[in-house]
Amino acid sequence: MPAAPEAKYTEETVLWVKHHTDKLMTFAITRPEAYRFSAGQFSRLGFRDGEGFIWRAYSVVSAEYADDLEYFAVLIPGGPMSAKLAELKAGDTVLLDKNATGFLLPERFVDGKDLIMLCTGSGIAPFLSILEQPEIWQRFERLALVHSVSYADELIFNERIAQLSEHPLIGEYTGRLRFIPVLTRETGGRLNRRLPELLKSGELSAALEIPFTPADTRFMICGNPAMVKDTFQALLDMGFAMHRNRIPGQIMMENGF
């Protein structure tokens, strides 16, 4: 007999909520002792909705060893899940699927010297988790995070990334990280075009001061579907290939949640 739906999730308490703009929010919930995930994976969060449930996937921002679970959400006007999240406050409850999932995992790469993480919007979430893992800093010689957003007020994690240099587990390695924010709808950023265009023109490689080669460079892409598709195609045109379990390549990608 299949397990009852209730057996597939736990009910967790919201610890804090922060609204960064009218569309961007972060929040944290309690973490069950048995909950396990790998940096780069996502959780399914849900609410009771009438006689049923509403579920959505959100990448975990927290480190694997964190005591709580943090998430980053972009609120979509008219979205049923966004409506629930917009009203969220400390002390409320959220449903958490017991199993994390996802394959945006840097350990799947069998080789490579440089890890380039390309993201738009909420696609930065899995990379924030990955960057708090000591193993990633020891595995790659250079790390690069490129976060593309429309406007400067959407770059809500810049300070957090800067503070990695004070992290007790990884602070000594953070000189290996290059971080570049990209603005696409206003000037003022170091780069101001879409990621696929920056790849094709060579501007991104030059800005990072990292040559992109199939032998050394590994790419992880997460964000809106149009960006993921176009960036993937740009990399294919540059001679890189999708990474598959039985056929090692240089690209892993996932649509942002």
- Averaged pLDDT for residues 237-253: 95
Domain boundaries, the chain: 5-97, 106-255
Helix ranges (DSSP H) in the chain: 80-86, 125-130, 134-139, 158-162, 195-201, 203-208, 225-237
Q: Which two tokens stand for residue 55?
A: 């579920």
- Sheet harboring 52-59: ordered strands across? 52-59, 42-49, 93-97, 9-19, 24-30, 68-74
CA distance 100 to 61: 13
In CATH, 5-97 is 3.40.50.11030: no
What's the predicted TM-score (pTM) here? 0.94
Element holding 133 (H helix, E strand): none
For the segment 190-207, what is each residue's pLDDT rounded down to a tens digit? 899 999 999 999 999 999
Q: What is the pLDDT of residue 1?
A: 37
- Averaged pLDDT for residues 98-103: 96
The CATH code of domain 106-255 reads: 3.40.50.80
Q: What is the pLDDT of residue 4?
A: 47
31 φ, ψ (degrees, to nearest 5)? -110, 120
